[in-house]
Amino acid sequence: MKGIILAGGTGSRLHPVTRGVSKHLLTIYDKPLIYYPISTLMLAGIREILVICTPEHSQAYQSLLGEGSQWGIDISYAVQADPNGLAEAFLIGRDFIDGQPCALALGDNIFYGAGLSGQLQELAQPRHGAAVLAYQVKDPERFGIVELDNEGRPLSLQEKPISPRSNWAIPGLYFYDANVVDIAGQVKPSDRGELEITSVNEAYFRLGQLYVTRLQRGTTWLDAGTFDSMLEASHFVQTVEKRQGLKVACLEEVAWRKGYISSDDVQKLAEAFNNEYRNYLVSLLESTPSAL
């Protein structure tokens, strides 16, 4: 399976900060925001990733991430000239997808929790159709919502509903079979002029091919799209890292524990830092690598 990270958009909710820098290059505690969706895809076992960003920020992403070889993955780039909706990612990434199953991760969504890696790997397994996550929220009118029956099967989908039929939100991480490019190509712009991801999910739902997995209790999902939510996300990551002594979305660690890079590689990567991040990477080498 291949992975796409959509890191485009104008970041208007974060103006004036994002008038000069991409939102996804801003920091969540001790790492750029873009590190978090990259780690999510890596935890799912995905090693070929396309980062879609705005034309004016493409070089900054390439300077930060390179080709991904330092983490044992392959990162390529494409641009979204205008914010035409999430589903446009599949049209932009048509050649990258190349008839393969694909996952789409939104660049400002953060996932963390015990057992998350196993759940993500299960979602990334080949299947006929689409798989989305469901997460209980107290303000469902802010999100795309899925209504579920008693067996967890989807009954309906709603996009930011005034009268939500459930409180199960669909986070910004989606898994699709190879048909997603053709389905996205048939999506018509919504009233706000965008190709909506909900329209893609509805197409799979009508075919009876939309599968929903509830995120396990104790798993955290954060949407870091506003000043307050970015600050809250930073505080969350800081609390986890200070109390547990483990880093969240440390790409070097994820790559090492999954066997994508060696201990020697970690040592070399650590030498590029002169701070606590370096100390953490060095400390990893004193432990035994294990599967995430």
Return the H-helix or E-strand segment holding 232: helix 227-244
pLDDT at 105: 98
Percent of the chain residues topping a pLDDT of 90: 90
90 neighbors 64 (Cβ within 8 angstroms):
no
Using CA atoms, how far apart are residues 241 and 238, in angstroms rounded to an integer? 5
This prediction's pTM? 0.96
Tens of pLDDT along 66-94?
999 999 999 999 999 999 999 999 999 99
Q: Is 10 a residue whose pLDDT tops 90?
A: no
Mean pLDDT of the chain: 95
Largest CA distance in the chain: 56
Angle subtended by helix axes 276-284 and 263-270, to nearest 10:
170
Helix (H, G, I), strand (E, B) or coil at 9: coil
Q: Is 53 a residue whose pLDDT tops 80?
A: yes
Using CA atoms, how far apart are residues 270 and 208, in angstroms rounded to an integer? 48
The residue among 146, 125, 124, 121 whose CA lies nearest residue 135 is 146
pLDDT at 290: 63
pLDDT at 232: 97
Question: Residue 291 — pLDDT band, cuts 50, 70, 90?
Answer: low
